[in-house]
């Protein structure tokens, strides 16, 4: 069945036909970091990315930046070709040095969304700190209690380090701002790891100078907040600081930056509808969620601050399906 779907999905005339008949469909992909050498987290395989972009070019898809997609949806354009759009979240240096050149080779108009405190080297993301803590600790097993929750964590194998980190990330993500800081301090203590004040080399940020270098070559750069904390754990005042600081710092460094915002994490649990108004008030034109699915120019126009994205898949077959009329139809039925 999967094979049948994939072969139907590769028939480009059907993609073009669906684009005209079912509404102009847009597939926006969300990527994070490239595959790490130690396999401590899932990353994008550079060769797979290259293969996917080669396929998309061959089949006649149009690559557009997220700002162009938003502009076309506001104008009510009727593009002839189905659109693919690529976005990278967080702003790590290896997203620039490993993934960006592949996008640029295919003229795929990617956008990277950066955290201003991270690119400014003021701090590094809390979720990266959890990866560092769980991959560095020499403790093999421990029980930790915090805020009426008890965690039994093992670090004796790679798989156990990964599952312990996932548990901790899921819990820490929705802890109120100051509690999250306390939880990280407790882990530092219990796991006997000192967190460096700035990111260690394997978590190096995309600094502003490197961002400007790639921006001149065709990379679009957008704001992803100041700290990477999800909006639901912050007060509205703190959310406004996230929005204005990340926007102001970005524009100071890159005056022609993207005008689209990208929510931290971006699922239903991470931000609420009232935050969309705050993003609009901060003069962003639109915002990207991490709610999965294909979209259309018309749906984007109707709901500019909740744009859907697909996580970049781990196989070419899935990329073909996500980009095709089949997924478009499925998203319409859901």
Residues near Zn ion, by CB under 5 A? 89-90
Give the nearer residue to Zn ion in terms of CB position, either 69 or 262.
262
Nearest approach, Cβ of residue 305 and Zn ion (Å)? 17
Residue 172 has phi, psi (to 5 degrees) of -70, -30
Q: Which residues of 193-208 are buried (b: 16+ CB within 10 A; e: fewer)?
A: bebeeebeebbbbbbb
Min dist. Cβ of residue 20 to Zn ion (A): 35
- Closer residue to Zn ion, CB minimum distance, 144 or 241: 241
Of 297, 302, 293, the C-alpha closest to 326 is: 293
Rounded least distance, CB 133 to Zn ion, Å? 18
How many beta carbons lie within 10 A of that of residue 317, not counting itself?
Answer: 16
With residue 135 as reference, give the H or E element that holds it. Answer: helix 126-136
Nearer residue to Zn ion within complex by CB, 67 or 89: 89
Q: Are 219 and 112 in contact, with CB atoms under 8 Å apart?
A: yes
Judged by beta carbon, residue 90 or residue 253, the one nearer Zn ion is 90
56 or 115: CB nearest Zn ion: 115
Min CB(279)–Zn ion separation in Å: 15
Local structure of 208: helix, strand or coil: helix
Task: Kindly report the number of other CB atoms within 10 A of residue 68's CB atom.
Answer: 16
19-57 in b/e form (b: 16+ CB < 10 A) is: beeebbbbbbbbbbbbbeeeebbebbeeebbeebbeebe
Compare residues 271 and 325 and give the one whose CB is closer to Zn ion: 271
Q: Are 228 and 262 in contact (CB under 8 A)?
A: no
Strand 141-146, strand 149-154: pairing: antiparallel
Q: Of 90 and 242, which has the nearer Cβ to Zn ion?
A: 90
By CB neighbour count within 10 A (0-12 exposed, 13-18 middle, 19+ buried), where does 307 fall? Answer: buried
Q: Which residue number has the CB closest to Zn ion?
A: 89
Q: C-beta of 83: minimal distance to Zn ion in Å?
A: 23
CB nearer Zn ion, residue 82 or residue 125: 125
Side-chain half-sphere CA neighbours of 11 within 13 A: 10
CB of 264 vs Zn ion, minimal distance in Å:
5
Q: What is the C-alpha to C-alpha distance for residues 315 and 47, in angstroms, rounded to an integer? A: 11
Complex with Zn ion: residue 173 or 321, whichever CB lies closer = 173
Question: CB of residue 127 vs Zn ion: minimum separation in angstroms?
Answer: 8
Closest by CA position to 85, among listed 308, 285, 326, 334: 308
Q: How far is the CB of 311 from Zn ion (least distance, A)?
A: 12
Cβ atoms of 70 and 300 closer than 8 Å = yes
CB 11 to Zn ion: min, Å: 35
């Amino acid at each position: 069945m999967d094979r049948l779907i994939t072969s139907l999905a590769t028939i480009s005339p059907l993609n073009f036909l669906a684009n005209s008949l079912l509404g102009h469909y847009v597939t926006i992909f969300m990527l994070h970091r490239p595959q790490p050498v130690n396999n401590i987290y899932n990353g994008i395989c550079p060769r797979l990315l290259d293969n996917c972009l080669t396929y998309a070019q061959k089949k006649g898809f149009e690559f557009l930046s997220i700002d162009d997609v938003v502009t076309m949806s506001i104008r009510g354009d009727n593009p002839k070709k189905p659109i693919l759009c690529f976005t990278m979240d967080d702003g790590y240096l290896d997203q620039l040095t490993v993934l960006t050149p592949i996008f640029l080779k295919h003229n795929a108009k990617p956008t990277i969304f950066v955290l201003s405190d991270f690119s400014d080297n003021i701090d590094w993301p809390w979720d990266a700190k959890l990866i560092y803590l769980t991959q560095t600790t020499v403790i093999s097993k421990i029980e930790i209690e915090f805020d009426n929750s008890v965690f039994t964590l093992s670090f004796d194998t790679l798989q156990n380090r990964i599952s312990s980190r996932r548990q901790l990330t899921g819990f820490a993500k929705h802890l109120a701002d100051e509690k999250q800081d306390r939880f990280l301090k407790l882990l530092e203590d219990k796991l006997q790891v000192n967190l460096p004040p700035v990111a260690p080399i394997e978590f190096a940020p995309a600094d502003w100078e490197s961002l400007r270098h790639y921006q001149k070559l065709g990379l679009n750069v957008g704001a992803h907040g100041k700290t990477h904390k999800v909006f639901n754990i912050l007060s509205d005042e703190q959310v406004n600081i996230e929005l204005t600081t990340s926007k102001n710092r970005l524009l100071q460094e890159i005056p022609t930056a993207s005008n689209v915002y990208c929510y931290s994490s971006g699922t239903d649990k991470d931000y609420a509808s009232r935050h969309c108004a705050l993003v609009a008030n901060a003069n962003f034109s639109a915002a990207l969620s991490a709610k999965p699915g294909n979209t259309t120019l018309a749906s984007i126009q109707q709901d500019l601050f909740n744009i859907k994205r697909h996580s970049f898949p781990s196989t070419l077959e899935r990329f073909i399906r996500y980009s095709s009329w089949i997924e478009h139809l499925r998203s319409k039925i859901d």
